[in-house]
Amino acid sequence: MVVRLPWSGDLGMHGAVLERLRADLVHPGNPLVDEDTDSPYYSPWTVSLALVATAGGWSTFAVLRLAALAGLVLLGTGTAAFVRTFSRRRGAVPLALLCVPLLYGVRLFAWSGVPGLTSLCLTLAYPSTFALGLALHLWALLRRALAQAWGPVGFLGLGVLLAGVLLCHQFTGAVAVLGATAVLLGARPGPGTAVRRRLAAGAALALALLLCWPYYPFLALAGGGGLDAIHRPLYGHLAQKFCLAGLGVVALAVRWRRDHRDPLALLFVLGTVAFAAGWVSGHYAWGRVLPAVLISAQLALAVEVAETAASGAGRRRWVPAAVTGAALLAGAWTQAGVLAYVLREDAVPPGLRDVPSVALWPRFGWAAAKVPKGATVMTDDYYALRTLPAYGPYTVAPAYPDAFLPDEKRRREATRRYFTPATSRAERLGILKEYGVRWVLQKNGGAGLPPGDPALRATARGPGGFALLEVVER
């Protein structure tokens, strides 16, 4: 997946972020439209990737592959490090590395920040994967820091790490905070006065770093930016999407009965409360704390099965392992369609050819090859809006809600009017002039200025009946 980078989702946004940072590291502007605005996508991680791209002369997609590899390594090592704070059994880490990507449900589910196999295949290069790996390392280090009563420098380092997670991916940052809270509540013995002061110093440093980050005002994100509507699907078909993780809930119940301050059980409770509060209040974006719910259950199952198999007596000790193995096989079968992302169609085993998979998106490299970087394109195509900016061009309307773009609604309305059949030629030309549009991407025969209009010059045709038109009169 690192090599192939399957495209179905927000990869275009993250490519656009790198393009803007490479063009102007200090004032990159909006990633999607030609406006000088802040953006939460400019994080320490993306700035670092842009510096690597500039220093090495690498293309944006080469750097995204590097980001995917780094995210994969960090997620794997973070999972291992956190699990080892609960169990030193040999089977615990390998089982956790299977449970986290496979133990979901019988209905495909892919969302940034949720490390299911299908989701990871599509989001491996995203900052959310990198941030989740950091969060797991943060929890593991915090457990060690509390157990060993680290000095002030160590806790300040944890504050820097927490700020990094929050700046790189804010939703995963919320998960990281829930996890850190669970670790603190579950610490035995509880932190003494000196450790509490060091914790406060680390938290204060994290807050200071958030407030000082120059690319966007972190606290302004509290407004939400109209993200609730696009997150409502997180609450649909929960039983089908996550039924296999129910085994982890059983493991959590066992741990809770044994220790009411178990960090994994506390993380599950905190995540579930936040997730449910999002549904009750209509703040569906809160549903992005879902990884806290799932990972706590998956890791609890891995730890309990490993401990039972290693220390139990009689044949019954293998029952949890057998049941977990069956659930993992079911999860693997459900998500086996990801093989189609890396294999030719005729190379996929016949028995797996009909297994559902998330469809990949069309790419618009053929159009981007004609459009200069920094030029503005008028299009209303769902995929083009989310793909073209990865190659360097801007679009008139942003593909995603943007809390820092004041004329977002106006841009969307202008795009709608341009492609409305009843709109006059003069009004369309006025829209093109207002937004400095130099190129139009539209379906053949679709609404908008016809390809034969004297204001346009046909430049290229692409798959799916698309035409790329250069604006020669505005």
Residue span of the structural domain in which 455 resides: 365-471
Residue 75 shares a structural domain with residue 120 = yes
Residue 357 lies in a domain: no
**DSSP codes, 53-75:** HHHHT--HHHHHHHHHHHHHHHH
Whether pLDDT at 445 is above 80: no
**Contact partners, residue 98, CB within 8 Å, separation at least 6:** 302, 328
Residues 414-433: pLDDT tens digits?
999 999 999 999 999 999 99
pLDDT at 452: 87
Residue 117 lies in a domain: yes
Residue 369 shares a structural domain with residue 347 = no
Residue 34 shares a structural domain with residue 117 = yes
Residue 156 shares a structural domain with residue 276 = yes
Residue 262 shares a structural domain with residue 322 = yes
**Contact partners, residue 460, CB within 8 Å, separation at least 6:** 366, 367, 370, 467, 468
Residue 111 shares a structural domain with residue 31 = yes
450-471 burial: b if 16+ Cβ within 10 Å, else e: ebebebbeebeebeeebbbbbb
Whether pLDDT at 474 is above 70: no
Q: How many domains does the chain have?
A: 2
Of 321, 351, 381, the position where a domain reaches its end is 351
Class of residue 283 by CB neighbours under 10 A (exposed 0-12, middle 13-18, buried 19+): middle
Residue 32 shares a structural domain with residue 72 = yes
Residue 466 lies in a domain: yes
Residue 343 shares a structural domain with residue 369 = no
Which whole number is the average pLDDT over 106-122?
A: 96
Residue 199 shares a structural domain with residue 266 = yes
Which whole number is the average pLDDT over 449-457?
A: 91
What is the reported pTM? 0.95
Residue 232 shares a structural domain with residue 341 = yes
Residue count of the chain:
474
